[in-house]
Structure 1
Amino acid sequence: MGDSDEIKAARRDLGRRLAQLRKAADHTQHSFARLVQYARSSVANTETGHQYPDRAFWARCDAILQTGGVLAEEYDRIAERARQQRRRSAVQSIGTGPWPVAVIHTRPDVGSDDDGSVLWEHEGSIDARRLTLKSCNDNDARLTYLEDEVGRAIADNERFTPAVLVARMRPLRIYVDQLMGGRQHPPQRVRLYSVAAYMSGLLGALALDLGAFRVAHAYAAEAFDLADAAHQPDLQAWARATQSLIAYYTGDYHDALAYAQDGLRRAGTGPHSIRLTINGKARALARLGDRYGVDKAVDYAFNSLSECPSSSQVSASLALGAYCQARTAANAATAYLALGCGTDVTTHLVTAIDAFDAAALRGPQALSRLDLATAYLRADNPEPEQASALALEALTLTADQRYESVNQRARQFLATARPFAQQPQLRQVAELLCDRIRIGVRTPPALPSPS
C-alpha cells in the first residue's frame, strides 16, 4: 500500500472514530450536524471517509463530545504525514522531471549540496504553506460582532434580569469556545481570548446575582485565565475586579482584598484602578475592620475620578472604563456602613441615590436605599419608620430582579432592625425577603423582641 493509500485509510479510521464517539454520546447525525454547524450529509460523508473537513471541524467535535482533543490531535498527525508525503513527492519530481539534473543544480532556487542532495523545498510546498498561513476560521467582522455583543450585554446588566442576560450570553460563550478550537492569526487570537474573558466575567457576575456561588467563582477564574493568556493587563485588572466582587459577596473578604490588590498592580493608574480600590479594596478592608485603610482607599478613589472621568453619569457595574462618581460614592457608603460610621454613609448616599434614580437602575437603587435604611437605624436618634419605608421600597423595586446582593443587604438590615421588632413595616420587610429567597418554610425571618 502506497503512502497515499495509508493517508486515505487513516482518514477513514478517523471518520469511523467520530461516528463511534457521536453514537456513544447519543447524538444522531442530524442533531450533531446542528451543533458543529455542518450539513448532515457532510457529517455522514466525513464518518465514511468521503469528506475530510479542516481542523476547526475536528476541534468543534472534540469540544462537543468532550474528548480532550483526541480527534484534532489525530487530524494533526494525519496532516503531518500528508505533508511529509508531499515533500518526498516534490523531491522525487525534481530528480526525475523533464530537466537534466545538471541544469537543475545550476538554478539558484533549487540548489544542491556537494553530495547532490536537494537543499531547498519545492516551491509548491512553500506556496501551500503560505496559503495555510493566510487562512483562518475567523475574520474581523465576526470578531467585531462578538465584541459589540459583549459591550451591549455589559451595558444591559442591571437593566435586564440576570436570567435574561444568561440566556443571551451562554450560547455566545459556547460559540466563542468553538472558534477558539480553530486557527487565528495572533492579533485575532488576542481579540478572541479577550471576548471570551469578558463573557466569562459577565457570566460569573450573573451567576452571583442568582446565588450560584460555585459557578460564579468558576466563571470568574476562567475570565482571569483567559485575560492572562491574552497578555492584556487592563483585561486582567477587569477580571480581578470581578473576582473580588464575587469573593466579597461570598464572605471571603481576605480573598476579595487579595484579588483587588493584585488587580491594582496590573491596572496601574488606568481606569480600572477606581473600581478595584472602592468596590474591592475599601469594602473588603471595612469588613476586616481597617478604618485607616478604608479612609485611604476612599480618598484615592475620589482623587482618581478627576484623572479618569467616567464617560457616562452612571457607569456600568462591570465598567469597561472608569467608575463614575455615583458608584464610587455608593461603595464608599457601603464600606463606612460596615465600620459603623453613619454620618459618612448618609453623606455619600445623597449623591448616589439621585443618580441611580435618574438612570432607573433598580439594583443600585435598592442597594443604596438599604444602606441608607440601615444607617437610619444606627443613628444617635434612630428612625425605624423611615428606615422600614426605604427597605420596603428597595425590595419592591427589585421584585422581578432578585439579586443576591440585595437579598444579603436586606438580611443585614433586618439584623440591625431587631431592637425595633415592634414596627409593623419591619414585619412586611421580613415577609418580602422570605418570598424573594423562596425558602421552604413560609414563615418570615425571625425578628425577636428586644431584650
Structure 2
Amino acid sequence: MTTFPELLREWRLAAHMSLADLAQRVRYDRTSLHNFETGRRPTPLSVAEAADEATGANGALVEAWNREDLQRREAAATHRVRAAALAMTRDLTALADLDIAELQDGVAITAVDYLASPPGPMMDRAHVLRGEAFERIRSGHHRPADRSDLYVAAGRLSGVLSYALLDMGDADEALEHATAAGRCAEFAGDAELAAWVAGTKSLIARFQGDYGRALEYIRDGYQWVGAGHGTGEARLRCGEAQCLANLGDSRAANQALDGAEAARERIRRPDSLEGLFGFSRAKQSYYAGSSLIWLQGGHDAERAAREALEAIALWQSGPVEERSLDDERLAHIYLATARVQLDDVEGAADALVPVLSLPVEEQISWIVKRMDRVAGMLGAPRYAGNQTATETVEQINALAA
C-alpha cells in the first residue's frame, strides 16, 4: 500500500507543483515539506489537510494520513504494554533477590555499556534497575546505612535515562529525569553526582539552544566540585566553553577550555564511576572541538580540528570501556565542520566517511542535527561549483532520507 509520504509526492507532482509551490500553498517551509515527503519527519494533520486541498486530492491525502496515524497509535499502545510487561517480568525473575551490591554493579555496568550501545536498550535496562532501587527506598527494605547508596544508584540510573531520552531527541523528558537525579544527589549528599547533574542539565539546555540558561546550570554546578576530586570541574568548564562559543565569545571559550586542562592536571582522586559518569581525556578533546566550531573559523577552527582528531585517536587507541561510539562519530562531524570553515572541502568529506554509512537506528538526534549543519555549510553559494561539496550534501541527504 502506498504510504502517506509517497502519496503526498505523487499528488504534488500530479498537480504540477514544485516543493516551493506547495510550501507557499500550505504555508510551510520547503525543507520541512521535503522531510515530510521522504518520511524523515511526521507530517502534521494541518499540512495534510492543506496539501489535500491544494493538490486536488479530494480527501485521499487526509484518508492516508488518518490511516497511518491510527496504525502508529495502535503500534505505540502495543509497544507500551509489551515493554511494561517485559520490564515487570524481568524485574520479578532477575531482580527479586538483588542486594545493594548487585544493584551497584548493575549501575556500573550500565554506565559503561551506554557508551557503545543504542539509547533504547539502555533506557529499558535503566528503568528496570531504577525500579528496584525505588522499591527498596519506598518500602524501607534496606539497612539504614544503605539508604544513601540507594539514592545514589537511583540518581545515576535517572541520569542514564536522561541521556537516553536526549539521544532520542526528547529534551523535555530528559530534563525531568535529570531533575530527579539531582534530587537523589541532594538526598544522598553526593556532591560528585550533583556536579554531574548540573553538567547534564546544561547539556540539555544547549541541545535546546538556550545557552544563557545552560551557562547558569554550569555556574551553579561549580559549588559541587572539590579540588582534585574527579573530573567534575573539567566537565563543567568544557560545558562552559560550549556555552560561551555559541554566544560568540571566542576569548572566554578558549579560556574555559584552558581552565579544563588545568582542572584535569589537579585531579588527585578518580571518578567513583566510569563510562557515562566519567570524563575521559578523549571526551575533553571532543568537547573542545564541539565548542569551537560555533565560532568564526580561523584559529578557533584550527584548534577545533586538532581537538576532534585527538579525541578520535584517543578513543580508537584507548580502553574499550572508555570508547563512546556516538561521540566518536560526532567528533568526525565536528572535524568535518572545522575543515569546511577552513575551506578544506576534501578533508571534510573524508572526515564524514565513517558516519555516512550509519543505519537509521544508530543516527542519534545529535548526529542528525550536526550533519544538517554541515550540509548547509557545504550548500553555500561559494561551493556551488565544487563537485565534492555537492556529492557530500547529496550523501548527507540520502542518509537522512
Letter in 2 for 1:337: I
**Contact 2:292 2:301 (C-alpha < 8 Å) held by counterparts:** yes
Q: Paired residue for 1:299, among 237, 255, 258?
A: 258
Write the distance in 2 (CA, Å) between the matches of 1:249 and 1:310: 30
Letter in 1 for 2:235: R
Letter in 2 for 1:211: G
**Which residue of the partner structure matches residue 172 of structure 1?**
129
Secondary structure of 2:116's counterpart equals coil
Question: Identity across aligned pairs (percent)?
Answer: 24
Write the distance in 1 (CA, Å) between the matches of 2:369 and 2:174: 16
Distance 1:421 1:199, change over 3 A: farther
User: Are 1:248 and 2:211 an aligned pair?
Assistant: no
Q: Paired residue for 1:282, among 241, 247, 253?
A: 241
Distance 1:155 1:428, change over 3 A: farther
Shift of 1:296: 2.0
User: Are 1:332 and 2:288 an aligned pair?
Assistant: yes
User: Are 1:413 and 2:370 an aligned pair?
Assistant: no
Distance 1:308 1:263, change over 3 A: same
**Contact 1:392 1:428 (C-alpha < 8 Å) held by counterparts:** no
* TM-score normalised by the chain length of structure 2: 0.67
Write the distance in 2 (CA, Å) between the matches of 1:397 and 1:199: 28
User: Are 1:161 and 2:118 an aligned pair?
Assistant: yes
Distance 1:264 1:397, change over 3 A: farther
Shift of 1:400: 4.2
Secondary structure of 2:349's counterpart equals helix
Q: How does 1:188-227 map to 2 (within 5 A)?
A: 188-227=146-185
Write the distance in 2 (CA, Å) between the matches of 1:421 and 1:164: 42
User: Are 1:267 and 2:267 an aligned pair?
Assistant: no
Aligned length: 299
Shift of 1:150: 1.0
Distance 1:213 1:425, change over 3 A: farther
Distance 1:309 1:317, change over 3 A: farther
Letter in 1 for 2:332: R
Shift of 1:434: 4.6
Q: Paired residue for 2:356, among 364, 370, 395?
A: 395
Write the distance in 2 (CA, Å) between the matches of 1:186 and 1:349: 46
Write the distance in 1 (CA, Å) between the matches of 2:301 and 2:268: 28
Letter in 2 for 1:276: L
Shift of 1:281: 1.0
Write the distance in 1 (CA, Å) between the matches of 2:379 and 2:268: 41
Shift of 1:423: 4.5
CA RMSD after TM alignment: 2.9
Write the distance in 2 (CA, Å) between the matches of 1:151 and 1:316: 8
Write the distance in 1 (CA, Å) between the matches of 2:359 and 2:325: 6
Letter in 1 for 2:338: A
Letter in 1 for 2:290: T
Query: Please, which runs of 5 or more residues in structure 1 have no aligned partner?
Result: 1-30, 39-137, 443-451
Distance 1:241 1:424, change over 3 A: same
Distance 1:263 1:386, change over 3 A: same
Q: Deviations over 1:146-201 (max 9, x none)?
A: 11111111111121111121121112222222222111444211111111100001
Query: Please, which runs of 5 or more residues in structure 2 have no aligned partner?
Result: 1-84
Write the distance in 1 (CA, Å) between the matches of 2:384 and 2:181: 44
Write the distance in 2 (CA, Å) between the matches of 1:174 and 1:146: 11
Write the distance in 2 (CA, Å) between the matches of 1:391 and 1:329: 18
Write the distance in 2 (CA, Å) between the matches of 1:373 and 1:233: 37
Q: How does 1:291-370 map to 2 (within 5 A)?
A: 291-308=250-267, 316-319=275-278, 323-340=279-296, 341-359=300-318, 361-370=324-333
Q: Deviations over 1:365-389 (max 9, x none)?
A: 211111111111111xx12122123
**Contact 2:332 2:352 (C-alpha < 8 Å) held by counterparts:** yes
**Which residue of the partner structure matches residue 47 of structure 2?**
none
Distance 1:147 1:422, change over 3 A: farther
**Contact 2:379 2:393 (C-alpha < 8 Å) held by counterparts:** no
**Contact 1:210 1:402 (C-alpha < 8 Å) held by counterparts:** no
Write the distance in 1 (CA, Å) between the matches of 2:132 and 2:392: 43
- For CA contacts below 8 A with separation 6 or more, give which structure has more relative contact order: 2
**Contact 1:197 1:239 (C-alpha < 8 Å) held by counterparts:** no
Letter in 2 for 1:391: L
**Contact 2:375 2:396 (C-alpha < 8 Å) held by counterparts:** no
**Contact 1:287 1:338 (C-alpha < 8 Å) held by counterparts:** yes
Give the structure with higher Rg (CA): 1
Write the distance in 1 (CA, Å) between the matches of 2:269 and 2:364: 25
Q: How does 1:418-433 map to 2 (within 5 A)?
A: 418-419=379-380, 420-424=383-387, 426=389, 429-430=392-393, 433=396
Letter in 2 for 1:409: R
Write the distance in 2 (CA, Å) between the matches of 1:167 and 1:338: 34
Write the distance in 1 (CA, Å) between the matches of 2:315 and 2:162: 23
Q: Paired residue for 1:142, among 87, 99, 103?
A: 99
Write the distance in 1 (CA, Å) between the matches of 2:315 and 2:385: 31
**Contact 2:122 2:160 (C-alpha < 8 Å) held by counterparts:** no
Write the distance in 2 (CA, Å) between the matches of 1:404 and 1:191: 32
Write the distance in 1 (CA, Å) between the matches of 2:214 and 2:281: 22
Shift of 1:260: 1.3
Write the distance in 2 (CA, Å) between the matches of 1:267 and 1:335: 22
Letter in 1 for 2:365: E
Letter in 1 for 2:291: A
Letter in 2 for 1:286: A
Distance 1:347 1:190, change over 3 A: same
**Which residue of the partner structure matches residue 139 of structure 2?**
182
**Which residue of the partner structure matches residue 98 of structure 1?**
none
Distance 1:149 1:392, change over 3 A: same
Letter in 2 for 1:179: R
